[in-house]
Amino acid sequence: MARKKTEVKTVTASSEPAIKPVRLDLPADVHRLLRLVAAHADQSMASYAREALARSLRDEAKRRGIKP
């Protein structure tokens, strides 16, 4: 029988993923609007929501004078 190899596997250096997940619960009417607007923009709902939230947060941070 062949023996099991006892090689040490190297772990990659990425300790944090580049994207952090966030759960967002939406009311039914807002979900419907997101679906319609994302379809009109020819994007997925998740992609459109990410871009819209990022844009809104950057505008709000600029308005409040917060530097990222």
pLDDT number for residue 12: 63
Contacts for 45 with CB less than 8 Å, ≥ 6 apart: 34, 35, 38
In this structure, the number of other CB atoms found within 10 A of the CB of residue 48 comes to 18
Place of tokens 């020819």: 42
Q: What gap in Å lies between CA 63 and CA 55, rounded to an integer? A: 12
Contacts for 19 with CB less than 8 Å, ≥ 6 apart: none
pTM: 0.70
Task: Give pLDDT tens digits for 12-31.
Answer: 666 666 888 999 999 999 99
Beta strands in the chain (DSSP E): none
